[in-house]
Amino acid sequence: MVPFDTIPQWLEVLLGEKFFNSCLFHKYEKKNEENTFCLDCCICLCTHCLPSHQSHRLLQIRRYVYQDVLRVKDAEKLIDCSLVQSYTTNSAKVVFLNQRPITRHFKTSGNFCNICDRNLQEPYLFCSISCKVHYMACNLNKHHLSNHDTPLHLEDDQMTQDSVPKLPISPRTSSGSRSSEATKSKATTESVKRKRSDTLVSPNGHRLTSLCSSEMTFAMNRRKSVPHRSPLC
């Protein structure tokens, strides 16, 4: 049984085939309707074609209300028919191969097919095998895109907290905390000393700033010259 995580080629061909037409190779024979599908050759067969495909996997197609159906007992050996609504004909449960045309185009209260919006019974989600295959194929494509087409970069307005890499934080110890606080205290003291060395206070209380080191050295080392008395008259 194929679990629909991949869509096999024979299933795609099966859903696109037209059955119960006259076989081109036995068009002059009686009972030449093509009502059998060969999974190994992916072709339609009539009863006269069967002897040459005896060793192949064969699937018989039946008719119900003028539509192609599969017997659930036969279909479940090959594909997963769960959630596909089944019907009973000739004491056998069958499922439609393809979706049927909808005569009424309005919804009523109840359950509907996820693809064609046909009314269904609970708990079914699909009216035919083709609707389920179409639904699963769309989900497989979305899953493929989400895994391979990831964006290479994010714009500024797309940045989130989760998209920003977090830096590793080492655990603090008591000694590490004290050494960190001591380093911060030492850096703060040196910064205050530098600020104080760059600032002078005038006698009238105004702060004098922006003095270069050479000007400060000259101002601190300057001495009064020797006083000279004025000549006596």
Tell me the pLDDT tens digit for each residue of 66-86.
999 999 999 999 999 999 999
Count up the domains in the chain and report the number: 1
Please tell me the predicted confidence (pLDDT) of residue 137: 87
Three-state DSSP at 64 gives: strand
Confidence bin at 169 (pLDDT 50/70/90): very low
Q: Which domain holds residue 88?
A: 66-101+108-143
pTM for the whole thing?
0.58
Residue 110 has pLDDT above 70, yes or no: yes
Flag whether 121 is in a domain.
Answer: yes
Q: What angle do CA 184, 187, 190 make, to 5 degrees?
A: 150
Flag whether 71 is in a domain.
Answer: yes
185 Cα distance to chain centroid: 51
When pLDDT is averaged across residues 193-215 and rounded to a whole number, the result is 46
Flag whether 81 is in a domain.
Answer: yes
Flag whether 79 is in a domain.
Answer: yes
For 2-15, the pLDDT digits (tens) are: 555 678 899 999 99
Handedness of CA 71, 72, 75, 81 (dihedral sign): positive
Residue 119 has pLDDT above 80, yes or no: yes
Flag whether 136 is in a domain.
Answer: yes
Please tell me the predicted confidence (pLDDT) of residue 200: 44
When pLDDT is averaged across residues 220-229 and rounded to a whole number, the result is 56
Count Cα neighbours of 49 within 13 Å in the Cβ-side half-sphere. Answer: 21
Question: Which residue stretches of the chain are H helix?
Answer: 9-16, 72-75, 129-148, 174-197, 213-221
Continuous segment of H or E residues that includes residue 18: none
Confidence bin at 201 (pLDDT 50/70/90): very low
Is the pLDDT higher at 64 or at 186? 64
